[in-house]
Amino acid sequence: MTAQLFQPYRLNDSLVLDNHILMAPLTRCMADADLVPTQAMADYYARRADAGLIISEATIIRPDGQGYPNTPGIFTQAQIDGWRKVTDAVHAKGGKIFMQLWHTGRVAHPFFWGGEAPIAPSAIAVEGTVPRMRELVYQTPKAVTVTEIAELVSDYAKAAENAIEAGFDGVEIHGANGYLIDQFLHHDSNRREDEYGGSPENMSRFALEVVDAVIARIGHERTALRLSPGAYFNMAGDARDREVFDYLLAELEGRQLAYLHAGIFDDAMEFDYLGGRVSDYMRGKYGKTLVGVGSYTAHSASLAISEGRFNLIAIGRPFIANHDYVAKVKAGSELVAYSDEMLANLY
Ligand code: FNR
Ligand code: 8K6
């Protein structure tokens, strides 16, 4: 039943994956104090090199993008060199790896970089406190100016260039899960009245500028994007968000990305304003390579792929619990169940 998962998949002329299973991006908060990847991280990723493609944990493009402790960066030479050890280790075992590029926007906390307020499309705070550091209350962000938006776009492109210098096979722009790019795409967090807010075209502008700047720097074959049309994390949904994503997905269809990736924890969740599941909504609007995700097993993913609901599957938590996930599924052996305590170490 799962045999087709182990067939190669052609993303484009320059990238053919050995199988249909991607390791989902998973924040582990294990970089060193300078946000440099460690040898333990290189070993952790190398143990998972038989995934068709590894997507790295979200990696911040600049200091004010940080929202959690010890998340790695890609804006200093030491970080580039640290990531080079990771990509060399993965490539030595025949694997492929993309870097996920991240700015957390209003979910950032100045505690981490010693600044004043975080930045976001509009001055609207997310409620609550930073996970694992509950003493840090989220602050009201400062609305970015148009000049600052242009700097952000150029910082994403520079981060993509740095990722290629560090040996990555490509990048996945993190446009999902309520972080900066997603904050422009939802009415809950974007109340702007300039050319970056108010209409589907304006609300999609920042996401498309980032995508186009990254494509211009490293090529469309090496550029991917993750999106969360369904608001579920750090974000409230709004029925008007639907037309923003309708517009954005139509624009993306013409851009020859390596792939488009859904951002959701459980794809059984249904969203009224999307008419059902996130993956089904995205499939309806986007005909090119789509990566499904969210509480799938190899069996349920295989079924979904055979039904044409998406093309590739990303696996998250089971890959934390089983470094040999691909080999185990292939052999039909039993998987270790994931539990949150496993986040304490990098095995
Ligand atoms: C995540 N997820 C996530 N997503 C993302 O885009 N960037 C990230 O850095 C992270 N980090 C992260 C850490 C941890 C501990 C978890 C559990 C999840 C979401 C992840 O990529 C995936 O979408 C979900 O875990 C759902 O897939 P599974 O776990 O059901 O296969
Ligand atoms: C310090 C931890 C850094 C975590 C980074 C982001 C991923 C957190 C995953 C925790 C699970 C959150 C689940 C939210 C699902 C909401 C479903 C309605």
Q: Is the CB of 291 under 6 A from ligand 1?
A: no
Residue whose CA is at the smallest distance from ligand 1 atom 28: 316
Average pLDDT over residues 149-158: 98
Ligand 1 near 294 CB (within 6 A): yes
pLDDT tens digit sequence for 176-185: 999 999 999 9
Is residue 257 in contact with ligand 1, taking CB distance under 6 Å?
no
Give me the pLDDT at residue 1, please.
Answer: 75
Assembly ipTM: 0.95
Cα-based distances in Å from 4 to 19, 96, 211, 240, 304 = 8, 19, 31, 38, 11
**Distance between Cα 193 and ligand 1 center (Å):** 33
What pLDDT score was predicted for residue 336? 98
Say what percent of the chain tops pLDDT 70.
100
Residue 9's SS3 state is strand
Q: What is the mean pLDDT of residues 244-265?
A: 98
Which of 22, 23, 27, 297 is the best mutation target for the ligand 1 pocket, counting ligand atoms within 8 Å of the beta carbon and taking the most?
27
Both structure tokens of 145 = 């100016």
pLDDT attached to residue 134 = 82
Side-chain half-sphere exposure of 256, counting CA atoms within 13 A:
9
Would the CB of 36 count as within 6 Å of ligand 1? no
Nearest Cα residue to atom 2 of ligand 2:
131
Residue span of the structural domain in which 141 resides:
3-344
Pocket flag, ligand 1, residue 175 (CB < 6 Å): no
**Whether residue 12 has pLDDT greater than 80:** yes
Q: Which of 269, 271, 276 is nearest to 293 (CA)?
A: 269
| Ligand of minimum distance to the alpha carbon of 233 | 2
Cα of 316 from ligand 1 centre, angstroms: 6
Strand 9-12 versus strand 15-17 pairing type: antiparallel
Contact 71 CB / ligand 1 (< 6 Å):
no
CA 156 to chain CA centroid, Å, is 13
- pLDDT of 188-231, one tens digit each? 999 999 999 999 999 999 999 999 999 999 999 999 999 999 99
- Give catalytic status of residue 179 as yes or no: yes
Section 292-309 average pLDDT? 98
Name the active-site residue from 179, 196, 232, 259: 179
Q: For all residues of the chain together, what is the average pLDDT?
A: 97
> What's the start-to-end Cα distance of the chain, in Å?
29
Q: Tell me the mean pLDDT in the region 7-15.
A: 97
What residue has token string 């305590």? 341
Distance (Å, whole) CA 146 – CA 207: 14
User: What letter represents residue 114's amino acid?
Assistant: G
Ordered DSSP codes for 194-225: STTSSSHHHHHHHHHHHHHHHHHHH-GGGEEE
- The 3-state DSSP class for residue 324 equals coil
Model pLDDT, residue 40: 98
102 C-alpha to ligand 2 centroid (Å): 15
Atom of ligand 2 nearest to the CA of 233: 16
CA 194 to ligand 2 center in whole angstroms: 32
Residues β-bridged to residue 54? 23, 97
- 21: CB partners within 8 A, 6+ apart: 5, 51, 52, 298, 312, 313, 315, 325, 326, 329
Predicted pLDDT of residue 132:
85
Total of domains in the chain:
1
Q: What is the CATH number of the domain that holds 102?
A: 3.20.20.70
Q: How far is the CA of 24 from the centre of ligand 1 (A)?
A: 6
Taking the centre of ligand 2 as the mean of its atom positions, its distance from the CA of residue 294, in whole angstroms, is 12
3-state helix, strand, coil in the chain (%, to 5): 40, 15, 45
- Measured between alpha carbons, how far is 233 from 186 in angstroms, rounded to an integer? 12
d(CA 317, CA 104): 21
Cβ–ligand 1 distance for 313 under 6 Å, the answer no
The residue among 56, 9, 51 whose CA lies nearest residue 30 is: 56
| pLDDT band of 326, cuts 50, 70, 90 | very high
Counting Cβ atoms within 10 Å, is residue 1 exposed (0-12), middle (13-18) or buried (19+)?
Answer: exposed
C-alpha span between 167 and 194 (Å, rounded): 38
d(CA 221, CA 267): 27
Cα-based distances in Å from 301 to 20, 123, 191, 227: 10, 40, 37, 19
- Which ligand 2 atom sits closest to the C-alpha of 343? 2
